[in-house]
Structure 1
């Protein structure tokens, strides 16, 4: 009988979904209240919720964008050390491309929105930095 890796039960992966809204070769990122790092607009996937549903819900809650989950295209998933969590706890972020002409606006939980390029990776936790790297490698952002 196989056993979970040591610490696996204590530190389960964190499933999250995020949007990648790109304009002028930059991608939308946010700064949450009381934080100093830039994050992708997104958050935890609730039980029974699809990744696209979670990404659309979080976009509405964080940056006031009304997105149709059926029109979000999944780009990739990144799995990296979760920011601010014990070593070995991973965040598994599914990133969905969003297309809208609407202007994003910070919500009550967000201090600011930013248009990031790969040069901003140092402002991001590991998952955000990896998203910037992958978007840059795909030629979608500078």
Structure 2
């Protein structure tokens, strides 16, 4: 089981997504926790590293937890993605291993990782993500 935390940022019915250098698949921003980190601490650190913005921990709201086959891993390796929304300050900019920042809709599922399919379906079912 790969344990990850992701940030869900929605604007005008689209969700913020990222592509890492050397990859062709888009992932929700976030990452793996370091020893002793809480979900929110992991999220704040990862988003600062990847997108050059500061999340406000006091505004973090759990959106859901999703599990699926881990993209690029052998069959049977799953990823658990714990998702949060949170307000941020600063200007979004690709940093660290991030090559590109994009805003995706529900029509973009051919471009995303398997666990993100579940998250996109949830966001669409709740009316947050548009086609």
Matches within 5 A, 1:31-50: 31-50=19-38
Root-mean-square deviation (CA, aligned residues, Å) is 1.2
Taking structure 2 as the reference length, the TM-score comes to 0.94
Matches within 5 A, 1:1-142: 13-100=1-88, 102-142=90-130
Secondary structure class of the residue paired with 2:24: coil
CA-to-aligned-CA distance 1:60-105 (integer Å, 9 cap, x gap)? 1111110122321010000000111111111000000122364311
CA-to-aligned-CA distance 1:17-39 (integer Å, 9 cap, x gap)? 01001111111000000000000
Q: Hey, what's the Cα distance between the residues in 2 that align with 1:68 and 1:57? A: 11
From the CA coordinates, give the structure whose radius of gyration is larger: 1
Secondary structure class of the residue paired with 2:82: strand
Taking structure 1 as the reference length, the TM-score comes to 0.87
Q: How many residues align?
A: 130
Unaligned runs of 5+ in 1: 1-12
Larger strand share, 1 or 2: 2
The list of structure 1 runs, each at least 4 consecutive aligned residues, that deviate by more than 4 angstroms after superposition, is: none
Secondary structure class of the residue paired with 2:27: coil
Secondary structure class of the residue paired with 2:88: coil
